Amino acid sequence: MRKPLVGGLVAAIAAGAALAAVGTVGAQGGDAASLAALVDGTQRQLGRLAAVQVAAESSNLNVVRGVGGLAGVGLGIAVGSVVTYARWGR
C-alpha cells in the first residue's frame, strides 16, 4: 500500500539529493584542494630528497669535504690571526 507521505518523501529525496550535492560539491572542493596541497608538498619533499642525494653521491661528497676543508682553513687562519694580534696588542 502506498502511504500518503511516501510520494512527498520520495519527491523530497531528489530535492534533498540536489541540496546534498551542493553541499558535497563544496566539501569535495575542499577535500580535493587539501589533497592537491598534500601532493604538492610531497613533490617538494621528493625534490629535496633528490637534491640531498646529489650532495651525498661519493664524487660530490669529496667536493663537499674539499669545500669544508678550504672554508675551515680560511676561517681558522682569520680567527687565529685576529686572536694572536689581539694578544700582542695588550
Partner 1 sequence: MRGATLGVGIVAASILLALVAVGPAAAQTVDPADEAEICPGTSGDSLVVVLPGGTDVRPGDDTTLLPGTEAEIALCSGGEVISTTAWPVDGEVDGVSVGESERFSYPVTVETVEEPTPVEFAPAISQRGDVDTPTVTATPGNVMTVGVDSTTYRVAVAADDRDRLRRANDTYVETLDGMRAAAADLDEDAGRLDPDPDVPDDRRLPQINQTRAVTTNYATIQSLLFSAATSGNTEAVAALDAYERRHDDALGDTRDSLETANRAIERQARSTALGVLGNLLGVALVGAVVGGIGGRVLTDRILSEVEIDRRRSSAVDFRPKHLAVQLGIAAVLVAGAAILVVTQGLLDPLVAVVRAVIGV
Distance of alpha carbon 8 from alpha carbon 70, whole angstroms = 84
43 binds partner 1, rule: CB under 8 A: yes
DSSP assignments along the chain, one per residue = ---HHHHHHHHHHHHHHHHHHHHHHHHHHHHHHHHHHHHHHHHHHHHHHHHHHHHHSHHHHHHHHHHHHHHHHHHHHHHHHHHHHHHHH-
For cell 681558522, the residue is 76
Q: Report in angstroms how near the CB of residue 86 gets to partner 1 at its nearest.
A: 10
Q: Report in angstroms how near the CB of residue 90 gets to partner 1 at its nearest.
A: 10
Q: Report in angstroms how near the CB of residue 41 gets to partner 1 at its nearest.
A: 6
30 binds partner 1, rule: CB under 8 A: no
Q: Report in angstroms how near the CB of residue 69 gets to partner 1 at its nearest.
A: 4
58 binds partner 1, rule: CB under 8 A: no
85 binds partner 1, rule: CB under 8 A: yes
44 binds partner 1, rule: CB under 8 A: yes
